[in-house]
Structure 1
Amino acid sequence: MAWLSPAFPVGGFSYSAGMESAVVEGHVGDGDGVEAWLGVLLAHGGLRNDAILLAEAHRVQGEGQSLEEIISLATALASSAERHAETTRLGEAFVKAAAAWPHPVIDVLVGPVPYGVAVGAVAAAHGVDRVDAIAAFLHAQISQYVSVAIRLGVIGQTRGVSILAASEAPILDAASSYARLDLDDLGSATIIADTLSMRHEIQYSRLFQS
């Protein structure tokens, strides 16, 4: 929980994963829109893929295998330049901060390391259960995007809390399900979200880096 709390210095507050463009272009305009958007990402989009990659990194580290291939694959799967920058910068910052919990895996996770892979490998190295790691990771991501929506003025804090409450059961179900998946299950059906992440790169006025 410490690793995935808002106080952990990864800089997640500066990224929106394309949600800013979704708001600017009218795809998300109220609390129901935010809740639906996050639900789609969790079930069919980037959050699902990140969780699968986390699960694979957890398995690989737990079995004492090399993390090189999963790091390369996860990096290559970034759907846009901003998405690549977001996931690798968060990953590098996570590894740097997680070094406060000494373990040889820290020396392996050097250079651009996608966030989910870093979390999965470090969690496995310290004996954190895979399902628990995925659930905490997904909750942290959903919380971050709710914060994005609040800062963009789409929702208030009360509606944000209700979205977090409504997300608890889907997150727990997703964590249990995604922990059993492997790389053959990677894929998404969120073309609009992926495209908006690319469009954000040339957006005229921006609060967030992605």
Structure 2
Amino acid sequence: MTVNEPQPVLDRGGMTESEAAALYRLMTWLSPSFPVGGFAYSSGIEWAVEVGDIRDAVSLQNWLAAMLADGAGFCDGVFLAQAHRAVEFCDDAGLRETAELAAAFVPSRERQLETSAQGRAFIEIARHAWNCDGLEAMIARCGSAIVYPVAVGIVSAAHAIRLAPTLHAFLHALTSNWISAASRLIPLGQTDSQRVLASLEPVVSATARRAIAATLEDLGSATFRADLASLRHETQYTRLFRS
């Protein structure tokens, strides 16, 4: 950095204004209070509880660790990362390819509803409350339905928020929502819920690192039981959740 270049403005905690803005926006967008309707979905966890696959904190932790590392968590992370990079590098063809593949890459009708409804809500709220230069053009370039991880990737890149913290925040929010759903089904107490979330921190971090390094060619899921849970949930007799 030369003496003529502007110096970043730091607060007393050593955070630049842009870093503070990025943190504020990520905490807002991926908060449970952000109105994308995440509370209405369980990603098949409701059926897993119904049949006894998930019955306590330990079985929940094991189920979610698999979903993160080898299922929807990793795949959604790859889609977010690819969408973010496509926007960052003005790769229109790459953005369209990512958006189209992400919309098709779901194992059940209910998971399709879950990710597409949340993606649509995220985009609409961003347009009205968190708009920025170029966002509308980036959305238009997708040319298809925008599912949730792609929506987060597009909006965060449009706001010049770096990929790594965005992806970590997204996977944390995804995990927290899964635990919240399970806590209403098992039931699971608040302390045990936090123990599960704490235990999954290294899995979230490792999944984020893999997703950042991956390409669309690396996509794949090995969580057949979770996919089956999502399919079975469609005909479950009593339901609290939409997926």
Normalising by structure 2, we get a TM-score of 0.83
Aligned mates of 1:18, 1:106 — CA distance in 2? 33
1:203 matches 2:236? yes
- Name the counterpart of 1:146: 179
- Write out aligned runs for 1:62-101 (5 A): 62-66=88-92, 67-99=95-127, 100-101=129-130
**Whole-Å separation in 2 of the counterparts to 1:174 and 1:76:** 21
* TM-fit CA distance, 1:108: 4.0
Preserved contact between residue 53 and residue 70 of structure 1 (Cα < 8 Å): yes
Is 1:112 the equivalent of 2:145? yes
Q: How many residues in Structure 1 have an aligned counterpart in Structure 2?
A: 210
* Mapped partners of 1:175, 1:106: distance in 2: 27
Partner of 2:76: 50
Per-residue deviation, 1:129: 1.2
Q: Check conservation: 1:88, 1:113, Cα contact below 8 A.
A: yes
Percentage identity across paired residues of the two chains: 43
- Across the aligned residues of Structure 1 and Structure 2, the Cα RMSD in angstroms comes to 1.3
Q: 2:168 aligns with which of 105, 126, 135?
A: 135
Which runs of structure 2 are paired with 1:154-193 in the superposition (5 Å)? Answer: 154-193=187-226
Opposite residue 205 of structure 1, the aligned amino acid is T
Contact 2:116 2:146 survives alignment (8 Å): yes
2:37 maps to 1:4: no
Based on CA coordinates, which of the two structures has the bigger radius of gyration?
2
Q: Give, in whole Å, the separation in 2 of the partners of 1:25 and 1:184.
A: 34
Q: Within 2, Cα distance between the matches of 1:174 and 1:189? A: 14
8 Å CA contact 2:80–2:153 kept in 1: the answer is yes
Query: Paired residue for 2:22?
Result: none
Instruction: Give the superposition deviation at 1:107.
Output: 5.0
TM-fit CA distance, 1:169:
2.2
Which residue of the partner structure matches residue 102 of structure 1?
A: 131
Structure 1 alignment gaps of length 5 or more: none
> Is the contact made by 1:8 and 1:97 (CA closer than 8 Å) also made in structure 2?
no
Cα–Cα, structure 1 residues 206 and 183, in superposed 2: closer, same or farther, change >3 Å? Answer: same
The separation in 2 between residues aligned to 1:164 and 1:15, in whole angstroms, is 18
Distance in 1 of aligned mates of 2:181 and 2:74: 19
